[in-house]
Chains A and B, each alone.
Chain A
Amino acid sequence: MKLDVLYFAWLRERIGCARETVETEAGTVMALVEELRAREERYALAFSDLSALRVAIDQDLRDFDAPLTDAREVAFFPPMTGG
């Protein structure tokens, strides 16, 4: 399946891109993270500490063990600092 993967804030800066399309068969967010980590050093570094990251599937906050069934857009970002 094709997924739009988005990165925000320092994660976007470390990976060096804001959005990319990924061809993957990952069944969960965690499996997708493992695929990204295996790609290149900059991904491995950016995803080294998942406790410092949050994930949204199709614009809803989810956990890293969430399934990617029917997902179109997955976004990774640091904890939010609004207000």
Chain B
Amino acid sequence: MTRITIRVEQAPFDFGAECARFAEGGADTGAVVTFCGIVRDDTGTLESMEIEHYPGMTERALTKIAEEAARRWSLSEVLILHRYGPLRPGERIMMVATASAHRAEAFASADFLMDYLKSRAPFWKKETTRAGSDWVAAKASDEAALARW
């Protein structure tokens, strides 16, 4: 049985503390993979990024994605943490962590979670630069990435 934790919250999170706490004491865990997404500023003009989500559906969609990962790989634990609200460049947006007996399953499942989370969880990003605000468009490559699973 995989222990699944889904957290959708506005407050910043302590990535180091979350990693240290994750899968601690699990005798069947031999490998932990973590990923953290950070607000990137490609042009040096980004002032903020606002993340909107669909309360209720977000938790439901993330749970389904985590459950699908648990069906495909032998995982002892899965964590998905995603923030919403206004964020600044360099701030952490989200993290996933997977725990398994061996590394291959932990890596593959973390990769799967990220691909699905990008285009199947109801989050939308709006970037504000000095020039104004605009919604981030979904990339065709994100949708195409799902085909490999």
Interface residues of B (CB under 8 A from A): 37, 52, 54, 56-57, 60-61, 82, 93-94, 114, 117-126, 135-138, 142-143
Query: B117 and A9: CB pair below 8 A?
Result: no
Q: Which of B52, B56, B94, B121 contacts A9 (CB 8 A)?
A: B52
**Alpha-carbon separation in the docked complex, A63 to B121 (Å):** 16
Interface string of A65-79 (1 = CB under 8 A from B): 000000000010111
Contacts of B56 in A (CB 8 A): 59
Contacts A56-B57, A56-B122 given: A78-B94 contact, CB under 8 Å? no
Contacts of B122 in A (CB 8 A): 8, 56, 75, 77, 80, 82
7 A-B pairs closest in CB distance:
A79-B138, A82-B123, A9-B124, A59-B57, A83-B118, A82-B121, A10-B135
Interface of B is mostly: mixed
How distant is the Cα of A8 from the Cα of B122 in the complex, in angstroms?
Answer: 9
Chain A residues positioned under 8 Å from B124 (CB to CB): 8-9, 77-78, 80-81
The closest CB in chain A to the CB of B82 belongs to A82
Q: Decide yes or no whether A61 CB sits under 8 A from chain B.
A: yes
Question: Is there contact, CB below 8 Å, between B60 and A80?
Answer: no
Say whether A81 contacts B57, CB under 8 Å. Answer: no
* Interface residues contributed by chain A, number (CB under 8 Å): 16
A6 interface residue, CB < 8 Å from B?
Answer: yes
Known: A9-B135, A83-B37, A83-B93. A61 touches B120 (CB 8 A): yes
Q: Which of B93, B114, B125 lies at the interface centre, i.e. has the most chain A CB atoms within 10 A of its CB?
A: B125
A83 touches B138 (CB 8 A): no
Contact A8 B119 (CB under 8 A): no
Q: CA separation between A8 and B84, bound complex, in Å?
A: 14
Query: Which residues on the A side are within 8 Å of B60 (C-beta)?
Result: 59-60
Neighbouring A residues of B138 by C-beta, 8 Å: 78-81
Q: Min CB distance, A50 to chain B, in Å?
A: 15
Q: Knowing A9-B135, A10-B135, A59-B60 touch, does A81 contact B123 (C-beta < 8 A)? A: yes
Q: Give the distance in Å from the alpha carbon of A32 to the alpha carbon of B94 in the complex.
A: 35
